[in-house]
Homo-oligomer: A and B are copies of this chain.
Amino acid sequence: MSSIQRQFQLFPQISRKSGSRMGILSLPHGKVKTPFFMPIATRGAVKNISPDEIKALGAEIILSNTYHLLQRPGLSILQKHKGLHGFMRWDRPILTDSGGFQVFSLAKIRKITFEGAIFQSEIDGSRITLTPEKAIEAQYIIGSDIMMVLDECTPYPCTYEYAKKSLAITLDWARRSKNHFEKINKKKKLSEKNRPLLFGIVQGSVFKDLREEAVTELVKIGFDGYAIGGVAVGEGINQIDEIVRWTTALLPKDTPRYLMGVGKPEEIVRAVHVGVDMFDCVIPTREARHGRLYVRTKKRAAEKKFYDVLNIKNGIFKEDMRPVDAHCACLLCTQFTRSYLRHLFSTNEGLGLRLATLHNLNFYLRLMEELRRV
């Protein structure tokens, strides 16, 4: 039995109509039920809520970002705090993105070579070099439970030639990441049980043969799990679904599959149904900050229109005495009226952002709970 089979225990659900899976992923900081959604703590804080609140919502794992943490607070401060867990006071598992996506989407001045990515700090303009090895080392200092390899996230649209060249770099970086990861585990004398997991990232843009090549090569290298990257970058829903279907069909059955940065509730539902186990997305927290709240209808997650989005800034809620969602058990819905939440947004009270964030995350986390049941 391989190590990952010990770390990832799948419960075959023979009666399941869809291709959805259910399991438990065992990580250095605890066990996580799959499929799961990770609230995003980009810079070491889930926007507007505290670690005890994240826990109370039932989140078993959160996501943070190497690119942002490298710049602020920087690795030396994280090291002093014995990693991100100590810094932000979160004692459950953390997955960290390698920073590849941000180098390409955020860094204004950057250069990609086979060696790595060089970019200018957003904070002080200093030059930062991120190599596959450095990304791994940074993630050890952060103390990640699940590390991601450095990859090049192709933009959309991009030509076949560009995607092919980019994939060659991504695969080379994946090999180097795995080597460096094994070297460090050996040096740190981490057992198979105590070590973090390392995930490969499938790129290849919208090109099926490149996605296939990516899976084949990554599986040859051998990772603890596989992420589908380079989606939700502008290619549209149908194409995301297609890429997810191609890729999950090819991926090993006994390792976790992670669809990066996706997505809307219905996108998550569809991806779970084709066998994806892990998700992260800024949508619930970002939408909350704009006063858009997710409300369940009476339909089940597999059905159409299983939720509405309520824009609390809308004048129609001015005197609405109902809770945002009468069936929701979050602080917002059990305590306050829509009218009050609207007032908090009108008067720019920080409490409004917090209550809306708690609510939307609760919506996502309860949705995952439902997806684990059916």
- B-contacting residues of A (Cβ < 8 Å)? 43-45, 47-51, 72-73, 76-77, 80-81, 87-89, 318-319, 321, 331, 335-337, 339-340, 343-344, 346-347, 349-351, 353-355
Contacts and interface: CB of A to CB of B under 8 A. Distances in A.
A339 B76 CA distance: 12
Contact of A89 (B44, B48, B336, B343): B336
A85 to B, nearest CB: 12
A353 B354 CA distance: 12
Contacts of A339: 73, 77, 80-81, 87
A354 B81 contact: no
A243 to B, nearest CB: 33
A206 B318 CA distance: 44
Nearest to A44: B343
Contacts of A331: 50
Contacts of A45: 344, 347, 349, 351
Given A50-B331, A340-B88, A43 B77 contact: no
Contacts of A87: 337, 339-340, 343
A297 to B, nearest CB: 26
User: Oligomeric state, in number of copies?
Assistant: 2
Given A45-B347, A87-B337, 18 more contacts: A43-B343, A43-B347, A45-B344, A47-B350, A47-B351, A48-B351, A49-B351, A50-B351, A72-B343, A72-B347, A73-B339, A73-B346, A80-B339, A81-B321, A81-B339, A87-B340, A87-B343, A354-B354
A331 to B, nearest CB: 7
Contacts of A81: 321, 337, 339-340
A81 B338 CA distance: 11
A48 B49 CA distance: 11
Nearest to A42: B347
A174 to B, nearest CB: 30
B72 A346 contact: yes
A286 to B, nearest CB: 13
A343 B50 contact: no
Contacts of A318: 73, 77
B88 A350 contact: no
Contact of A350 (B77, B343, B346, B353): B353
Nearest to A321: B80
A77 B319 contact: yes
5 contacts: A43-B347, A77-B318, A81-B339, A87-B343, A350-B354
B88 A43 contact: no
Given A350-B354, A354-B350, A354-B354, A77 B47 contact: no
A80 B319 contact: yes
Sorted nearest first, the 5 A-B pairs with minimum C-beta distance are A48-B350, A45-B349, A43-B347, A73-B343, A45-B351
A43 B73 contact: no
Contacts of A51: 335
A89 B50 contact: no
A39 B48 CA distance: 21
Contacts of A336: 89
A79 B44 CA distance: 42
Contacts of A337: 81, 87
A266 B76 CA distance: 39
Contacts of A50: 331, 351, 354-355
